[in-house]
Chains A and B, each alone.
Chain A
Amino acid sequence: GENVGLHLPTLSVQEGDNSIINCAYSNSASDYFIWYKQESGKGPQFIIDIRSNMDKRQGQRVTVLLNKTVKHLSLQIAATQPGDSAVYFCAENKGAPGGGNKLTFGTGTQLKVEL
C-alpha cells in the first residue's frame, strides 16, 4: 500500500554539525512533499516543502532534496542547534475528496542534539 517512511528512528548529532534526515515514499504520483518539526507536546510546525518538479530547495539553514528516481526525500539541517531537537516528519501531499490536500505522514525521526 501507500507508505511514507523514514529510515532512522533516532538521530544524535553534535551541536554545530550538519544533520541529515531521510524519508522514503512509495507513491510515485505524489507531487508535493513537506517536512514538519514537532516538539514534545506541540503540533507539527512547517519547515520546508518541495514540488516534484524540483530536486532541491533551500531555506534558512535547511535544505530539502528530492530524488524521484529512488523515491527518496531528505532534510538537511546546517549547524544543528539544541533548539533543533525534535521529531521530524516528512509528509506526502495527496488530493482529498472535495478539495484540500490530504497528507500522509512518515513514521518520524527523533533528532537529538548533543552539546
Chain B
Amino acid sequence: GAVVSQHPSWVICKSGTSVKIECRSLDFQATTMFWYRQFPKQSLMLMATSNEGSKATYEQGVEKDKFLINHASLTLSTLTVTSAHPEDSSFYICSAEGLAEETQYFGPGTRLLVL
C-alpha cells in the first residue's frame, strides 16, 4: 500500500530557531503533497499544497515566509518552520497523493514543541 513517512517524529527546539520536517512517499511518486497542522483536540487544518517542481500554494492566514515548503522531488517534500515561537508548537502532518491515487495518504506526524 501507499506509505508516507515523516522525520523527525518529534522535535523540541528553542524559540527563534528553525526546524525542518521531511515528508517522504516510500512506495509511490507523489505529484502533490499537503501539509496540515493539528492542535490538541482539534481537526486537521490544511496549511499548504505543494506540487513537485513548483511553488507551494498556501491557505489563507498561513505565512509563506514563516512556513517554507520545498517539493524538490516526487518523493520528498520539506516544511521548514522559521524562527519558531511557542505558538508554533503543534502536530504537523503531511499527506501525499500520486498520479494513480485519488485520495491522500498521511504520514505519522511530527510533534513540534518550541520552548
Q: Which residues of A contact B (CB under 8 A)?
A: 32, 34, 36, 41-46, 49, 89, 93, 96-108
Contact = CB atoms under 8 A, between A and B. Distances in A.
Given A44-B106, A46-B103, A99 B51 contact: yes
Given A101-B102, A103-B104, A43 B32 contact: no
Interface of B: 4, 6, 31-32, 34, 42-46, 49, 51, 54, 57, 93, 95, 97, 102-109, 111
A105 B43 contact: yes
A42 B91 CA distance: 9
Contacts, number: 70
B57 A98 contact: yes
A100 B111 contact: no
Contacts of B54: 98
28 contacts: A32-B102, A32-B103, A34-B103, A41-B109, A42-B108, A42-B109, A43-B4, A43-B6, A43-B106, A43-B107, A43-B109, A49-B103, A93-B103, A96-B32, A96-B34, A97-B49, A97-B57, A98-B49, A98-B51, A98-B54, A99-B31, A101-B97, A101-B102, A101-B103, A101-B104, A103-B44, A103-B46, A105-B43
Contacts of B43: 89, 105-108
Given A98-B54, A105-B45, 8 more contacts: A41-B109, A44-B95, A44-B106, A97-B49, A98-B51, A99-B31, A100-B34, A101-B102
